[in-house]
Structure 1
Amino acid sequence: MVVTSFSESPMATQADYDRLSELKAFDETKAGVKGLVDAGVSQVPRIFIQPPDDFTTGDTEFSFPVIDLQDMNTDPDRRKEIVDMVRDASETWGFFNVVNHGISVTVLEEMKNGVRRFYEQDTEVKKQYYSRDLERKVVYNSNFDLYKAPAANWRDTFYFLMAPQPPDPQELPPAFRDILIEYKDEVMKLGFKLLELISEALGLKANHLKDMDCAEGLAMLCHYYPACPQPELTMGTTKHADNDFLTVLLQDEIGGLQVLHQDQWVDVSPMPGALVINIGDLLQVNSMYYVLHYFV
């Protein structure tokens, strides 16, 4: 890999900077951001430099919601409390942490370790999965929007379409094949629970969203954020909205996630064994439809 093929100086003039050529040079290595770090890059290449106004610090005024799912299926009174908390967190934040969700810490830790095993193996092994064909069910690359975004994010990603028609297990990387399948099954179970709670929070029957096939699909994204030599110049993930029904986020212990709440960015500190739930845009639109339907 030839690192010097990228302009590393933030002060490079526009005449010296052919962005498309640098994007292609980076992409064609099929080594991702991890490849840059392994090659010893000492400055962030210009294609990754974010506009200054994209950086913000977290606010400590707010307390991020945490919902304990313990006894949700055995104690009717406790379930009502949980439904009320889900309703409140969904309306006011669109995000919340869940604990006692049914997925063991062992599975969560092994999933994170498996992702690290994949990214930390030899580049030549990883290259066989590298693609920009998003029709594939198994895709590894760096920045799905590399050629469209104003600046690339400092991360690599493995994408899996795991439901309703999962890939052949042999298509999955051996580095974390077994745990990926196990984690997928556990997340699907948790998704069913959450959709029941959200349905009830909307005043509907517990199976309503599942009966609408909201739980049929499952896409999994495994992000990897290598150490950055100039973290003040770039970001692992820039601000965005998720166009999904429901997103389950497994954070590493390093953290770094922020959510926008009351026009302020709030840090979501990692909690051991917790999962972050994101009420996606599609579910918010779907929820609004039911609010109008039942109250107008």
Structure 2
Amino acid sequence: MASADYDRMKEVKEFSESKIGVKGLSDSGITSIPRIFIHPPQTLSQLKPTSSSSFSSIHIPVIDLSNLDSPHHRPKIVDQIREASKTWGFFQVINHGVALSVLEETVNAVKSFHDQPHQVKAKISVGEERRGVVYTSNNDLYRSEAATWHDYLQVWMAPQPPEVERMPEICRREVIAWDTHAKKVAETLMELLSEGLGLEPGKFKELTFSDTRLFVGVCYPHCPQPDLTMGLASHTDPTVLTVLLQNHVPGLQVRHGDEWVDVKPVPGGLIINAGDFLQIVSNGEYNSIQHRVIANPCKEPRISIVMFFSLAKWKESDSYGPLPELLSPEKPAIYRNFTKQEYDDNFYSKGLDSKSFIDKIRI
């Protein structure tokens, strides 16, 4: 409940300028969370854990990418990915070609970064939100109604990567390597997603759908009052595709029908989800789905490494919409074309949300 003497913006500014981060708060041993992190009752009332309900038997699809080049297996994998992207918007892939040791090294490097004293992390040269290297807590801290319980390291890997020495030395090698590995996985999946629409396998690559890449290494530390806040608010990703690597600490939930479903990490697996951009260009054949992270009640932090993929080269007219090849009199466009300016302004003008841009351009 708001009170006359509560100045939210002042507290947000003080927290932001302290550079202590959520991990610093957690490590300090606090038993109650600052007021800026407390979410409204309507959000908190939806936080019933799904693990104890009858829906705990529902899981996002797990797709095995082995035998991908087999003429017998590939069409089956294309069908599985198309169906998962249409009905769930999320799936996990196994046998994706990245060694388990690489996954572990990447998670450990990001954890090591977040384990450093906040005074060390605060020295990172903060770039702009849309480029360079950033370490902070909540990208929408000043725009959202309530802060969420996580910190993150963000590195724009392409099309304009930062100077290597600007990346934190403690995880520099692993971040650069992960960019290569995740891009290879994403481009393989984009071929399969393209085939699932009846297009040539190389269509998405030709459209530069993996040429803007953002690395985000997130830490969700222990939260002393997980029933009062969120790890990450419910949202859809605005991009084309997301590749997610995480440790074994749970927390990610996906909206499926009327339920929130726990995503249980599969050892060695990678979690993939469609973004709003993919939903639009596929003319609604693929779906970006709401997901969120509950605040972490465990003593061990949840580490999550997210690679966002989006296009680098807009069409000459600087507008995008459903791909013309997918449209017909029977299947007309359900979204209008939009410009890069519209797309960027929508995301950077507010807190995280779900499909607000898709709703704006729906015909």
TM-score normalised by the chain length of structure 2:
0.75
Partner of 2:175: 180
In structure 2, stretches of 5+ residues that fail to align are 284-321, 332-363
Note the C-alpha offset of 1:15.
Answer: 2.6
Q: Is the Cα–Cα contact under 8 Å of residues 22 and 150 in structure 2 kept in the other structure?
A: yes
Are 1:63 and 2:97 counterparts? Answer: no
Partner of 1:293: 327
* Identity rate, percent: 45
Note the C-alpha offset of 1:135.
Answer: 3.9
Counterpart AA for 2:213: L
User: Separation in 1 of the partners of 2:4 and 2:217?
Assistant: 37
Greater RCO (Cα-Cα under 8 Å, separation 6 or more): 1
Partner of 1:3: none
Q: Is the Cα–Cα contact under 8 Å of residues 59 and 262 in structure 2 kept in the other structure?
A: no
User: Separation in 2 of the partners of 1:259 and 1:103?
Assistant: 25
Note the C-alpha offset of 1:136.
Answer: 3.5
From 1, 10, 15, the counterpart of 1:26: 15
Aligned positions of 1:31-110 closer than 5 A: 31-54=20-43, 55-58=47-50, 59-73=55-69, 75-110=70-105
More helix by share: 1
User: Separation in 1 of the partners of 2:29 and 2:262?
Assistant: 31
Deviations 1:102-160 (A, max 9, x none): 11111111111111111111222111126473144100101111111110000001111
Instruction: Using the TM superposition, name which of 258-267 and 124-133 deviates more.
Output: 124-133
Q: Is the Cα–Cα contact under 8 Å of residues 60 and 263 in structure 2 kept in the other structure?
A: yes
Q: How many residue pairs align between the two structures? A: 284
Partner of 2:226: 231
Compared with structure 1, are the counterparts of its residues 287 and 135 closer, same or farther at alpha carbon in structure 2 (3 Å cutoff)?
closer
Partner of 1:144: 139
Q: Is the Cα–Cα contact under 8 Å of residues 133 and 155 in structure 2 kept in the other structure?
A: yes
Partner of 1:103: helix, strand, or coil? Answer: coil
Note the C-alpha offset of 1:45.
Answer: 0.7
User: Separation in 2 of the partners of 1:267 and 1:19?
Assistant: 32
Deviations 1:143-192 (A, max 9, x none): 11111111000000111110123222111101111111111100011111
User: Separation in 1 of the partners of 2:108 and 2:164?
Assistant: 19
Partner of 1:236: helix, strand, or coil? Answer: strand
User: Separation in 2 of the partners of 1:98 and 1:274?
Assistant: 6
User: Separation in 2 of the partners of 1:280 and 1:205?
Assistant: 20
User: Separation in 2 of the partners of 1:85 and 1:215?
Assistant: 22
| Cα root mean square deviation, aligned | 1.6
Aligned positions of 1:105-124 closer than 5 A: 105-124=100-119
Are 1:217 and 2:212 counterparts? Answer: yes
User: Separation in 2 of the partners of 1:76 and 1:219?
Assistant: 33
Partner of 1:157: 152
User: Separation in 2 of the partners of 1:279 and 1:102?
Assistant: 20
Partner of 1:188: helix, strand, or coil? Answer: helix
Note the C-alpha offset of 1:60.
Answer: 2.3
User: Separation in 1 of the partners of 2:140 and 2:181?
Assistant: 29
Compared with structure 1, are the counterparts of its residues 181 and 98 closer, same or farther at alpha carbon in structure 2 (3 Å cutoff)?
same
Counterpart AA for 2:258: D
User: Separation in 2 of the partners of 1:63 and 1:216?
Assistant: 31
User: Separation in 2 of the partners of 1:107 and 1:219?
Assistant: 19
In structure 1, stretches of 5+ residues that fail to align are 1-10
User: Separation in 2 of the partners of 1:231 and 1:130?
Assistant: 31
Structure 1 residue ranges (4+ consecutive) displaced by more than 4 angstroms after TM superposition: none
Are 1:244 and 2:239 counterparts? Answer: yes
More strand by share: 2
Compared with structure 1, are the counterparts of its residues 163 and 249 closer, same or farther at alpha carbon in structure 2 (3 Å cutoff)?
same
TM-score normalised by the chain length of structure 1:
0.92
Q: Is the Cα–Cα contact under 8 Å of residues 34 and 226 in structure 1 kept in the other structure?
A: yes
Q: Is the Cα–Cα contact under 8 Å of residues 38 and 228 in structure 2 kept in the other structure?
A: yes
Partner of 1:7: none
User: Separation in 1 of the partners of 2:234 and 2:30?
Assistant: 25
